[in-house]
Amino acid sequence: MQPTTTVELSDVSDRPRAKLLLPTTLRVGDRVQLDFTLERQNGGRYEVLHVAGEYRVATAITDASTGLPHPVLSLESTGKAPAWRAIKKPTERQRRIAPAQSPRTLIES
């Protein structure tokens, strides 16, 4: 089983992290093609970050604090850096119950 690699995007605000399956032989300066999407809620706003394109490994660290060593890579975009974008979440439609139907009552006068 291949260990997961923690990827940190250094040129994005708040430096988001994601766990990916990447080759363990990546070194500083290597280039990687990425394509994934992250979502978050920031102060009541829903935001999405679409990461696509070529990235360069800026730093490579091995984290052994959890017992099993796994690589932590800091990546920089080689082109335009991605940015968080606000999105509108679709509101859930409330289920409406149909009005109760009862048989007609005859009123005699």
SS3 content of the chain, % helix, strand, coil (to 5): 0, 45, 55
> Alpha helices, DSSP H only, in the chain?
none
> CA angle 49-55-58, nearest 5°?
110
Return the higher-pLDDT residue of 105 and 5.
5
Residue 90 pLDDT: 66
Q: Does the pTM exceed 0.75?
A: no
> pLDDT category, 65, cuts 50, 70, 90?
confident
Distance (Å, rounded) from C-alpha 37 to C-alpha 43? 19
CA 23, 25, 27, 31 dihedral sign is: negative
